[in-house]
């Protein structure tokens, strides 16, 4: 959510402020829907979906119960919109970030001229030498603006933000996709496409 959205709609900003139990639930859902569905006895379908009723039953069985209303709140209030329901509201999946095999089905898209990647200073030398690689994920995640990339980078301490020449990458044949929550995905970013380092 942007700062302007908070200013224009303060009630929505308050509504979207995660409560502690919602933060815990969101983190556990990320673990289950991105990395380890078997931990609660679930299997994702090839596109990463799982039935909402199956998810709620599995969470209850492992001692982490959520009601459907609480799940709806976690999905709505998540600042990065990590999760999405299908159009029927009967299935849920993580929007991106999986380490388990899934094919999310996002179509190729033309990126903006610049994209951004938030990281931490200790990673800069390796990134400058090797570029950005997906590591244990399916794709490299890029942000559409420096503010979002900064927030991503703060997860490991003081962030740094790298610019990515997405226009040149696209012109050179690199494929981009954009997730349901606005994260740009690509297989890798070779070092020659990395630009300036912003230190917020």
Among 94, 122, 151, the domain boundary falls at 94
- Tens of pLDDT, residue by residue over 39-54, are 999 999 999 999 999 9
In this structure, what CATH number is given to the domain that contains residue 181? 3.20.170.30
**What average pLDDT does this structure show over 143-149?**
93
Does residue 57 sit in the same domain as residue 137?
no
In this structure, what CATH number is given to the domain that contains residue 52? 1.10.10.970
In this structure, what token pair is assigned to residue 114? 């610049």
19 part of a folded domain: yes
148 part of a folded domain: yes
Range of the domain at 163: 114-198
Does residue 89 sit in the same domain as residue 118?
no
pLDDT of residue 18: 54
- How far apart, in whole angstroms, are the C-alpha atoms of residue 139 and residue 21? 30
- How far apart, in whole angstroms, are the C-alpha atoms of residue 57 and residue 59? 5
The angle subtended at Cα 137 by Cα 131 and Cα 143, nearest 5°, is: 60
77 part of a folded domain: yes
Give long-range contacts, CB 8 A cutoff, 24+ apart: 132-137: 132/162, 132/164, 132/188, 132/189, 132/194, 133/188, 134/187, 134/188, 136/99, 137/97, 137/98, 137/99
Model confidence, pTM: 0.68
Does residue 85 sit in the same domain as residue 120?
no
Categorize the per-residue pLDDT at 15 as very low, low, confident or very high, splitting at 50, 70 and 90. Answer: very low
Does residue 187 sit in the same domain as residue 156?
yes
150 part of a folded domain: yes
Using DSSP's 3-state secondary structure scheme, residue 31 falls into helix
- Tens of pLDDT, residue by residue over 88-139, are 999 999 988 888 888 888 889 999 999 999 998 999 999 999 999 988 778 8
- Tens of pLDDT, residue by residue over 17-38, are 557 888 889 999 999 999 999 9
Number of structural domains the chain divides into: 2
């Amino acid at each position: 959510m942007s700062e302007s959205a908070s200013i224009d709609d303060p009630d929505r900003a308050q509504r979207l402020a995660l409560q502690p139990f919602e933060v815990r639930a969101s983190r556990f859902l990320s673990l289950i829907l991105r990395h380890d569905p078997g931990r609660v006895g679930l299997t994702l379908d090839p596109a990463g979906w799982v039935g909402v009723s199956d998810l709620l039953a599995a969470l209850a069985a492992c001692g982490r119960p959520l009601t459907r209303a609480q799940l709806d709140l976690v999905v709505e209030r998540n600042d990065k919109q990590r999760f999405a329901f299908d159009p029927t509201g009967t299935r849920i999946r993580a929007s991106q970030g999986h380490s388990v095999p899934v094919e999310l089905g996002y179509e190729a898209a033309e990126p903006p001229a610049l994209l951004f990647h938030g990281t931490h200073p200790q990673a800069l030398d390796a990134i400058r030498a090797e570029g950005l690689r997906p590591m244990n994920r399916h794709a490299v995640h890029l942000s559409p603006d420096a503010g979002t990339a900064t927030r991503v980078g703060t997860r490991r301490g003081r962030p740094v933000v790298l610019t990515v020449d997405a226009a040149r990458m696209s012109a050179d044949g690199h494929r981009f996709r954009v997730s349901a929550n606005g994260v740009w995905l690509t297989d890798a970013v070779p070092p020659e496409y990395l630009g300036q380092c912003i230190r917020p």
